[in-house]
Amino acid sequence: MRGNKIIAAIIVFLSFAAALENFGTISFIWKLIAVAISAIIILWYAAGWLSKWVKPKGQAGIVNVKPSKSWIRYGASVICVTAICAFFGIITWIIVNYYTIGIEEIATSSGKYEFWIQASVPLAKKVSVRLPPGIQTKCKPVDPPGSGTNRAEAMLIDWDSSNPQLQLSNFSFPQRIGLRCVSRIDLNRITIRIEPPHTPVFFPGHRGRYKMGIFLIGGLLWVVAFLLFIFWSRSR
């Protein structure tokens, strides 16, 4: 029996490792859905197990004696539920920050504007940034300080035409590249295409909205799991 449990644990571990290996190839939304489903399942079972663990038991041979509650176990259970929610919240935060291509806009002290592109962990073989016409005399590509061997492979295409493009090859974290411009670029006029296309592009503000959603959903899951734990600990 014990050998079967060990074999089952090995199979689960190998399945989990295979899932992690393919995690970067699935779409961003499915990553979030997979994490959410995993969090719900684990919180459900954790609440059930903890509700049995904290339930007091009477002493053998003693009748009509109500055992005292273990407040230490209650406190430990609340900490456990909170830790599970925090764990999945951190995973989701990592996905939002590092499995997306981020766009950042900075106003420098010299009055110029910098438009930065941050690579994601999944490799993007090709990133084409189509810019509005007329910027070729106003903007120039810049590398972050200390980029060294992590310098992005960038190429200017049709820079002197009405369809200027910045093309990046084999773009992956922690690579980063920017455009330093005399005047601000309207980000709504920038088009970014990625190959393969499973990595989303987050313009300023997008990550903040996702992080707020993570906080709200994580808090809701914590409340539901805690209420289930309280209910089951009293009824079972």
Average pLDDT score over residue span 66-83: 78
- Calpha distance 233→74 (Å, rounded): 10
pTM: 0.74
Asked if the model's pLDDT at residue 25 lies above 70, the reply is: no
pLDDT tens digits, 194-216: 887 778 888 888 888 888 888 89
Whether the predicted pLDDT of 40 surpasses 80: yes
Q: What is the side-by-side order of every strand in the sheet holding 153-157?
A: 153-157, 165-171, 124-130, 191-195
In contact, 219 and 37? CB cutoff 8 Å: no
Contact 91, 38 (CB under 8 A): no
Report residue 76 as tokens: 């430990």
> Can you tell me the distance from the alpha carbon of 229 to that of 116, in angstroms, rounded to the nearest whole number?
46
Vertex 229 angle, CA 223 and 233, to 5°: 150
Residue 185 has pLDDT above 80, yes or no: no
Percent of the chain predicted with pLDDT > 70? 78
Domains of the chain with CATH codes: 44-56+68-100+214-236 (no CATH), 101-199 (2.60.40)
Chain Cα centroid distance, residue 17: 18
Q: How confident is the model at residue 12 (pLDDT cuts 50, 70, 90)?
A: very low
Whether the pLDDT of residue 218 is over 50: the answer is yes
Read off the pLDDT of each residue in 45-57 and give the average, rounded to a whole number. Answer: 81
* Residues 107-166 pLDDT 10s: 776 667 778 888 888 888 888 888 877 665 577 777 777 666 677 788 888 777 777 888
pLDDT of residue 220: 92
